Structure 1
Amino acid sequence: MKSTDTTREEMWAKQHLSATHIDYAIWERDKQMLHRMSAISRSCTFVVDVYKLRYAFASTNFVDLLGYDSHKIATLERQGDYLESRFHPDDSTQLERLQVELGKFIYSLPIEERNDYCNIYSFRVLNARKQYVRVISRQQVLEQSRNGKAWLILGNMEIAPNQKESDQVECTVLNLKNGEMFSPVLPSPAPISLTQRELEILQLIQKGLLSKEIAHKLCISIHTVNIHRQNLLHKLGVQNSIEAINAGLASGLLD
């Protein structure tokens, strides 16, 4: 289910970075420093290149501490969203929505204030034992372009000392200049409204009935059943019956 009309990559693209304002010799020096730091630190460090819209670096601590694939970490620039692939799927949706909302906040500020913030997230990832553990991830600007735009984003991820049971992503935004903090609140999604017939069909889908069986049970045609199925899939924002059942459970439409 698509959680937002705007993606993180689209928010990054709002920087309108230009190659003429970026010096990759700076990044090569930073990368050497990060390799040295990761050798003495147990935190998992990563860098996002906002100009190239991709990850540029991840420390080997992701392999040792969280069981990530060593080859994919070493070649992260070519692996797309590999880091996110180990996030809890429910948390991934919340994280993307939070990052988009925070992006909107950042771009509402004067340009000279946009790089003053550190975003601190708490969410769940798979560890080496294929168990979900809660981590703390801190993200802030590492390097700016020559005209002051955020170019490289530095992240540090550590296993949270408090492994509380929660299905909520927590987020705190820290102003690095004055120490002020706030916790953003996501706007509530619009309530899903199904007709009584669509809800009946969704409940029967949950019980494993096929369209022909649903049609017989409700004394309507298969064609009518299929129209209702397509309508409820559209309203739930999903592609198939399994996703519809999951969405129905998540929204409280199904028990």
Structure 2
Amino acid sequence: MKRNTDLSLQTKSQTGFGPHTNSADDPGKKPFQFDGTEQYVLEKQLAMIRTMAQLSSSGVTVYDMQNDIHIFTSKQFYKIYGYEIGELQTNINNEVYDSKIHPDDLEELKKNGYEAMQFIMNVPAEARKQYKMVSEYRILNGHKKYMHVIEQQQILEQDALGNIWLSLGVIDISPNQTDMQGVKYQINNFHTGELIHLAEPTEKGSLTDRELEVLKMISAGKLSKEIGGLLEISVHTVNTHRQRILEKLRADNSIEAVNMAKRNGLI
């Protein structure tokens, strides 16, 4: 499935990962580049995916990010989304599925897809297929009731420039059907088991007033000793604030924390 597109050095103008944003809407989208084997690669991948779908109780789809269409969708995928089997065919625009997603969750999925793309396109091209994005959100089922589903997305194929060309989406009904609000998601490296959480706070209340003061000074290039002098607190206290800021923003360092805060309007 598809949610955004490519933010690599060669293709920074593309949009995001997964099927819930439309890269065709991006006027600066770079063209894909292939080496002439793409038809063979496509047929080989689709043959394997069809076999997998027949053996699986999960819904399976393959999204072509060059043309912004689903080029394969299993019967179980249709069924989970509440469509009659055989009602729809392949080469389907993503809006057919997005219309079933809870409106609040759809906006969050778009944001998450963009963040996931930023992360994945900073990974070396040869390692990108090791990652998958896992999301839990609400869709309207065939009984006109919202239910929670878990969707896993990963890269199948890239073009010669490293643009994500084909992505695989696997969807299941979540065992968690409690009244969950919002979207849960993470990125998982299924080779190493590493979990990457990219969620970022979007409200100023996520940080205390003092933490915001410290973060603004960090953004201005001030050192802990300078910040301590200006705020009349110890360097140890400043460093404690720094650590809490990193934890709350889930950042690895001060530069990353400042960038996250700026993107979300915290400073």
Q: TM-score, normalised by structure 1?
A: 0.63
* Equivalent residues of 1:72, 1:82 under 8 A apart: no
User: Cα RMSD between the aligned structures?
Assistant: 3.0
Show the counterpart of 1:42. Answer: 57
The worse-fitting range, judged by mean Cα deviation, of 36-45 and 86-95 is 36-45
- CA distance in 2 between counterparts of 1:20 and 1:100 reads 27
- CA distance in 2 between counterparts of 1:16 and 1:189 reads 37
AA in 1 matched with 2:158: Q
- Quickly say closer, same or farther: Cα 1:107–1:127, change in 2 above 3 A: same
* Equivalent residues of 1:139, 1:154 under 8 A apart: yes
- CA distance in 1 between counterparts of 2:125 and 2:44 reads 26
Counterpart of 1:33 (choices 36, 48, 72) is 48
- Quickly say closer, same or farther: Cα 1:69–1:143, change in 2 above 3 A: same
Show the counterpart of 1:74. Answer: 89
Show the counterpart of 1:159. Answer: 173
Deviation digits for residues 135-184 of structure 1 (CA, Å, limit 9, x no counterpart) = 01000111233565432100100001121211210001101231110221
- CA distance in 1 between counterparts of 2:15 and 2:49 reads 28
* Equivalent residues of 2:32, 2:163 under 8 A apart: yes
In the TM superposition, residue 69 of structure 1 has moved relative to its aligned partner by: 4.7
- CA distance in 1 between counterparts of 2:204 and 2:100 reads 28
- CA distance in 2 between counterparts of 1:54 and 1:148 reads 19
Show the counterpart of 1:64. Answer: 79
In the TM superposition, residue 54 of structure 1 has moved relative to its aligned partner by: 2.4
Q: Which runs of structure 2 are paired with 1:72-151 in the superposition (5 Å)?
A: 73-75=88-90, 77-146=91-160, 149-151=163-165
AA in 2 matched with 1:167: Q
Greater fraction of residues in helix? 1
* Equivalent residues of 2:32, 2:161 under 8 A apart: no
- CA distance in 2 between counterparts of 1:79 and 1:144 reads 20
- CA distance in 2 between counterparts of 1:53 and 1:186 reads 28
- Quickly say closer, same or farther: Cα 1:101–1:15, change in 2 above 3 A: farther
In the TM superposition, residue 111 of structure 1 has moved relative to its aligned partner by: 3.2
- CA distance in 1 between counterparts of 2:15 and 2:162 reads 23
Structure 1 gap segments, 5+ residues each: 1-5, 192-255
* Equivalent residues of 1:58, 1:73 under 8 A apart: no
- Quickly say closer, same or farther: Cα 1:102–1:48, change in 2 above 3 A: same
Deviation digits for residues 86-139 of structure 1 (CA, Å, limit 9, x no counterpart) = 111110000000101111122233333333211000001111211111001000
Structure 2 gap segments, 5+ residues each: 1-13, 17-21, 206-267
- Quickly say closer, same or farther: Cα 1:95–1:21, change in 2 above 3 A: farther
- CA distance in 1 between counterparts of 2:40 and 2:110 reads 31
- Quickly say closer, same or farther: Cα 1:174–1:129, change in 2 above 3 A: same
- Quickly say closer, same or farther: Cα 1:179–1:69, change in 2 above 3 A: same
Report sequence identity in percent: 29
Runs of 4+ in 1 over 6 A off after TM superposition: 11-15
Q: TM-score, normalised by structure 2?
A: 0.60
* Equivalent residues of 1:60, 1:70 under 8 A apart: yes
- CA distance in 2 between counterparts of 1:112 and 1:40 reads 29
1:170 aligns with 2:179: no
* Equivalent residues of 1:15, 1:149 under 8 A apart: no
When Rg is computed on C-alpha atoms for both structures, the one with the higher figure is 1
The worse-fitting range, judged by mean Cα deviation, of 44-53 and 129-138 is 44-53
